[in-house]
Structure 1
Amino acid sequence: MAAPRRLPIDPIAEAKRQWLAHGWTDAAVGMTAVTSIIRAQQLMLARVERTLKPFALSFARYEMLRLLAFTREGRMPMASAIARLQVHPTSVTNTVERLVRDGLVVREPHPEDGRAAMLVLTDDGRELVDRATAALNTEVFREPGLDEGDTEDLVSIIARLRRNSGDFADPKPQPEPL
Structure 2
Amino acid sequence: MTTPAHRVRVLFDESSIARRNEELAEAVRATQPRDLLVVAVLKGSFMFAADLLRAMHRVGLTPQVEFVHLSSYRTGTVSSGQVEILRDVQSEVRGRDVLLVDDILESGRTLVFAKDLLMARGAKRVLSAVLLEKPGKRAVTIEADFVGFTCPDVFVVGYGMDAAHAYRQLPFVGVVDFDSPDPDLFGGA
TM-score w.r.t. the length of structure 2 is: 0.27
Q: Which structure has greater helix proportion?
A: 1
TM-score w.r.t. the length of structure 1 is: 0.28
Q: Which structure has greater strand proportion?
A: 2
Q: Which has the larger radius of gyration?
A: 1
Greater RCO, 1 or 2 (C-alpha within 8 Å, sep 6+): 2
